[in-house]
Amino acid sequence: MGETKRTASDKIQKWLNEFDAALQKEDVNQALELFAEPECFWRDLLAFTWNIQTFETREEIVSMLKETLPRVKPKGWQIDGPAYVKPMMIGAGIKFETSVAWGRGFVYLKDGKCWTMMTTMWELKGHEEQVARSRPLGVRVGGVSGRKTWKQELQEEREALGHAKQPYCLIVGAGQAGLMLGAYLRVLGVPTIIVEKNARIGDTWRNRYKTLALHTPFFTDHFPYLPYPSNWPAFPSKDRVGDWMESYATLMQLDCWCSTECKGASFNEQRGHWEVVLEKKNPEDGTLETLVLTPSHLVLASGFTGFPKTPVLKGADTFEGTQFHSSQYQKGEHWKGRKAVVIGSSTSAHDICLDLWEQGASEVTMVQRSANIVVKIQTFLESRMDPDFKGTEFDNGFDLDRFDIKLAALPFKVLPRVLVPVYNRIAEKEAEFHESLRKVGFKVYMGEDGSGIPLDLVRRGGGYYIDVGASELIASEKVKLKSGVEEIRPKSIVFSDGSEVSADLIIYATGYGNTQDYIEKLISKEAAERVGRCWGLGSNTKNDPGPWERELRNMWKPLPVSNLWIASGGYSHCRFFGRHVALQLKARMEGIPTPVYSLSN
C-alpha cells in the first residue's frame, strides 16, 4: 500500500519536531543526523543568512548553522498545508519563526531524512503586512479638527516625497519588477519613488508590435495583492498588460515619476546615501528639469539585462535600407510590400516575423544563429501546471503564495533532473511538429542538457519560443529560413551557403548585454567590476560561464556595492523575490541587524 497524504503529513511533522528540538538546543550534530546522505540541500532566503544561498553538502549546512543559530533562534516548526506524495519522497510546506521574523518554506524527505529544504523569511515581527484581516480601519473615529480626505493626504505625501522629504528607496524602472517591489514597500511603509522614462506606465508594452502578448500563463503572472480579473485570457495581450500595470500603480498608490530618466548615480559613503541625478520632462511643455535625490537605497529594475546587443557584420555600414535592433521595432504596417530580414530566432525574432508577415511584408526571412527550443503554446501551458495544483490554477481560490513557495523548493542543481523528463515528454508529443521545422532546416533541441531552459529563471544561452503562429509560417516556408551571414551588401545579404537575399529592412533580434554594462554607465566601471556578471548560474553552458554559483548571480540580494540592489525577471520571479528585497530594505530602515552570511566579494 502506497504512502497516503495523512501518513506523509505525520512523518513530516515528526521530522519537524525532531529538527525543532535539535535547533533549540543548538545541537548542530543532532540536526545534521536528520539530513540525508550522500546528498542533501538547504536553500535559504534571508531567514538564516540575510542572503539568498543554497548549501549543497552536510558540511556546508553545519558551517551555516554554527554561525547563525545563536542569533536566529528558530523554533515552532510546523507543517503548513497538505503533504505531497511523490515517487521515492514526500514533501510539504512548512512554517516557523526566528528571533526577528515569521518564516515559511518547504521540505522534501527521502526515507525519513531531509533531501531538500527551503526556508524563507515571510514577515518581520512587529512590521507585519497590514493586509486581509489586518488591514487598516481607513477612517478616523470621532471628531477630527481640520480633517483631510484620503486624497488630500495622498497628494500632500506625493508633493513632499522627493522634495521636502527624501525617499528611503529609489527604484529605476516601472516594469513588473519595479511595480511589484514598489507594492511590497508601500504596504511595509517604506517611502519609495519609482522612476520611469516612458510617458506612461505600461508604454513599454503598449508601444510594441501588435502580436505581442505574455508568453507565460496568467496564473503564474499575478501581481501581489491584486490578481488579474478572473475573466482574463490565459495569455493577455500587450495592451491589456500595459493598462493593468498603469492601473496597478494607481490602485496600490505607488509614487511613480514618469518621463523621468536616471542619468547617473554615486554612493556617498560618509553620509550613507546615494546621490542620483534625474532628468524629468514636463508633460505640458516638454521642458527638462534636473533633480538630485538622495535615497538610502537604489534598486535597478530596468529589465532583464543591459543594453541592446547588435553584432558587427561585414558590410553593415554599406546597407542602403533600414536596420535597427528588435527593441526598436513597433509595428509592421510600414513595411507592407517590402522585404525584411530578421537576424535571430528567439521569441522576439519569431514574433516580429509573424507581425511582418501579417502586415503584408512581401518577403520575410529569419536568420537562425543557433538551435532553439520550440513548444506549442497549449503544450507549454499544460507543462507549467503543477500536478499538485492542477485544476486550481484557473480558480479564484488558487493559493498563489503556496504555489510560489513550492516552486522555489528545489535548488537549481537538481532542477535538470526534474525537467529532463518533462521535456522528453514534450519532445515526444511534438515530434511531428518539430520534424516539420527540421525539414526546412530549422534547428530544434531541448537545451544543452535536455532540460529545456526554465523561462525567467536562468538565461543559459540558446533560444526559447512558445509557438503562437510563427512556426507554422516557417514550416510552410511563408517565412524563409537562412543561417550564417557572410556579408551585408547595399541592398541584400549574402549567406555562407552562397545564396543572396534582397532586403529593405534588417532587424537584429540578437539580445542584450549584461546588466553589468548598465551599472558601468549609470554608476562607474569600478562598481560594475565589483558587482560582476548578473544572471546565470555558472552552469558552463553557452553564455553562462562558470564557476557554479548555485543561485542567480547578484539578483535580489545584497551586493558588494553598498545599498545597491538588482531586481528583474519574469512575473512570478518578481512577485516572489520582490518580497525578499522589500523585507531586506524594511529591516535596514527600522534598524534591525541584518548580518549577511557569505556576502559576495
Domain extent for 120: 5-124
- Determine whether 465 is exposed, middle or buried from the number of CB atoms within 10 Å of its CB (0-12, 13-18, 19+): buried
* pLDDT averaged over every residue in the chain: 91
Task: Say what the alpha-carbon torsion angle 428, 434, 435, 438 is, to the nearest 10 degrees.
Answer: -140
Are 543 and 477 within one domain?
Answer: no
pLDDT of 41 above 90: yes
pLDDT for 546: 86
Picking from 124, 147, 181, the residue at the C-terminal end of a domain is 124
Is there a contact between 279 and 261 (Cβ–Cβ < 8 Å)? yes
Picking from 124, 147, 171, the residue at the C-terminal end of a domain is 124
Residue 379 in domain: yes
How far is 155 from 172, CA to CA, in rounded Å?
22
Question: Mind listing the pLDDT tens digit for each residue in 242-300?
Answer: 999 999 999 999 999 999 999 999 999 999 999 999 999 998 888 999 999 999 999 99
Q: Which residues, listed in sequence order, are joined to residue 297 by a DSSP beta bridge?
A: 169
Residue 137 in domain: no
Question: Mind listing the pLDDT tens digit for each residue in 325-354?
Answer: 998 998 889 999 999 999 999 889 999 999
Domains: count for the chain: 3
Are 237 and 219 within one domain?
Answer: yes
Q: Which residues contact 475 (CB under 8 A, 6 or more apart)?
A: 436, 437, 439, 440, 442
Residue 283 in domain: yes
Are 340 and 476 within one domain?
Answer: yes
How does residue 5 score in pLDDT terms, banded at 50, 70 and 90? confident
β-bridge pairing 339-343 and 505-508: parallel
Residue 595 in domain: no
Are 180 and 104 within one domain?
Answer: no
pLDDT for 133: 78
- CATH number of the domain at 500, please: 3.50.50.60
Is there a contact between 355 and 187 (Cβ–Cβ < 8 Å)? no
Give long-range contacts, CB 8 A cutoff, 24+ apart: 493-501. 493/341, 493/367, 495/367, 501/339, 501/341, 501/363, 501/365
pLDDT for 305: 62
pLDDT for 361: 97
Question: What percentage of the chain carries pLDDT values higher than 70?
Answer: 95
Are 101 and 120 within one domain?
Answer: yes
What mean pLDDT is predicted for residues 162-173? 96
The segment with the largest mean pLDDT, out of 210-214, 221-225, 329-333, is 221-225
Are 538 and 571 within one domain?
Answer: yes
- Determine whether 227 is exposed, middle or buried from the number of CB atoms within 10 Å of its CB (0-12, 13-18, 19+): middle
The three-state secondary structure class of 18 is helix
- Alpha carbon separation from 582 to 129, 207, 299, 360, 511 (Å, rounded): 11, 30, 11, 47, 29
Residue 278 CA, distance from chain mean position: 26
CA atoms within 13 A on the CB side of 353: 32
Question: Mind listing the pLDDT tens digit for each residue in 168-209?
Answer: 999 999 999 999 999 999 999 999 999 999 999 999 999 888
Question: What percentage of the chain carries pLDDT values higher than 90?
Answer: 71
pLDDT for 479: 98
Among 175-189, 208-222, 239-253, 387-401, whose mean pLDDT is lowest?
A: 387-401
- CATH number of the domain at 92, please: 3.10.450.50
How far is 31 from 22, CA to CA, in rounded Å?
5
Q: Residues 413, 415, 418, 424: is their CA dihedral positive or negative?
A: negative
Residue 271 in domain: yes
- What number of residues does the chain have? 601
Residue 145 in domain: no
Are 502 and 584 within one domain?
Answer: no
Are 192 and 78 within one domain?
Answer: no
Are 473 and 334 within one domain?
Answer: yes
Q: Which residues contact 517 (CB under 8 A, 6 or more apart)?
A: 306, 307, 528
Residue 404 grid coordinates: 510560489
Are 282 and 237 within one domain?
Answer: yes
pTM beyond 0.85 = yes
Residue 150 in domain: no
User: Cell numbers 542620483 correspond to what residue?
Assistant: 276
pLDDT of 456 above 50: no
What is the chain's alpha carbon radius of gyration, rounded to the nearest angstrom? 26
Residue 376 in domain: yes
β-bridge pairing 41-45 and 192-195: unpaired
How does residue 145 score in pLDDT terms, banded at 50, 70 and 90? confident
How does residue 391 score in pLDDT terms, banded at 50, 70 and 90? low
Is there a contact between 429 and 379 (Cβ–Cβ < 8 Å)? yes
pLDDT for 122: 98
Are 222 and 344 within one domain?
Answer: no
Picking from 508, 540, 571, the residue at the C-terminal end of a domain is 508
Among 133-137, 392-396, 550-554, whose mean pLDDT is lowest?
A: 392-396
Are 112 and 162 within one domain?
Answer: no
- Alpha carbon separation from 76 to 18, 73, 104, 333, 538 (Å, rounded): 11, 10, 11, 62, 36
